[in-house]
Amino acid sequence: MIKKIGVLGAGSIGCYLGGHLQQAGYEVVFVGRERLQKEILSNGLTLSHFSGKQIYIYPDKIHYVTTLESLANCDLILITVKSQDSESSSVELKRIFGANQNKTLVSFQNGVTNAKRIGKILSSSVVLAGMVPYNVLSKGKGVFHSGTSGKLMIGQSKPHSDEILSVFRKADLEIESHLNMEGVLWGKLIFNLNNAINALVGIPLKEELSNRKFRKILSATMKEALSVMKQSGVKPVSLGPMIPWLAPIILALPDLLFFRVASSMVKIDPEARSSMWEDLDKKRKVEFYYINGEIINLAKAHNLDCPIQIKIAELIRSAEEKKAGSPCYSAEELTALLKIIVQ
């Protein structure tokens, strides 16, 4: 029975999910950076949603630590560290678990390989792949805002997944299980390709997607990725109304048609931005290599071309090294840099 839940990598997503679970009555241990620990233990935890819903948890009710030892006796652990930290975190967890390696973990991370990589190290544990469809922005002073809609997904592995679904639903977090999580994660990756574009243009998601010139850049990026997937035998799965192979067509529609179709697919508020934009803004290492980088790796493995992804990688790497936040490219500048032919 799940009573105590650990959140490893309690940043934007981890705090948002963990805070909801604590509000529902579960004991939650947050493990994260010292900077966030000080911020949250000074201000408390505020979770806001574009629908207007808001939750506040007082500082003295929050168990936020910077070391992993408190996770040893948790019944369920949510992994929300950056993808590049999956192996090192798993090695540390294995040490902390000691003889009690029979744990249940869910990887709520970007990318398609995290659960497998974690499972190889924690081979005696149940490691489920998870998918977070929405954006959560850290606004400072312990405030975490969900600016887009969507439903969480986890791999179906009874009875573990059934109990996890029950726990999350009690916390008013929409969630489903799926038998083909690899397909789900590839499907999400198609939409996550906008993370890098949003980071490069430096404006809110809604403003970006309201501009057809930016949408055409994203459309071309998705088309290239879908072509690589198809030729490599990878089959992405739809995320409810979010259909990967239709997305490039919808994005290229004239504004009036796009807004009509998009409004029935996803809700985005004016504050939402991508996590990659936030990483550049805070001068942190980005997760690009586990999103667009997966397309580049797939292309290399099958001797395919993906010039748009490779150029985006170059631009992101340059922005990351400069540590000056987003380069704030205009649509015209980015179109020219990526050598996209606009029709």
User: Is the separation of the CB atoms in 178 and 155 below 8 Å?
Assistant: yes
Q: Could you tell me if 96 and 230 lie in one domain?
A: no
Angle between helices 181-201 and 307-322 (to 10 degrees): 60
User: Is the separation of the CB atoms in 65 and 29 below 8 Å?
Assistant: yes
**Cα dihedral angle (171, 175, 177, 181), rounded to 10 degrees?**
-120
Does residue 223 lie in a domain region? yes
Cβ count near 162 (within 10 Å): 12
Q: Which domain holds residue 29?
A: 4-179
Q: Could you tell me if 172 and 194 lie in one domain?
A: no
Does residue 343 lie in a domain region? no
Q: What is the pLDDT of residue 264?
A: 78
Q: Could you tell me if 71 and 133 lie in one domain?
A: yes
Q: Which of 179, 213, 243 is the last residue of a domain?
A: 179
CATH number (domain holding residue 248) = 1.10.1040.10
Q: Could you tell me if 34 and 103 lie in one domain?
A: yes
SS3 254: coil
For 140-160, write each residue's pLDDT tens digit: 999 999 988 889 999 999 999
Q: Which of 144, 179, 214 is the last residue of a domain?
A: 179
Q: What is the pLDDT of residue 328?
A: 98
Q: Which pTM was predicted?
A: 0.93
Q: What is the pLDDT of residue 241?
A: 80
Q: Could you tell me if 219 and 286 lie in one domain?
A: yes
DSSP code of residue 9: S
Q: Could you tell me if 60 and 156 lie in one domain?
A: yes
For 81-106, write each residue's pLDDT tens digit: 999 999 999 999 999 998 888 999 99
Q: Could you tell me if 69 and 174 lie in one domain?
A: yes
Count the domains in the chain: 2
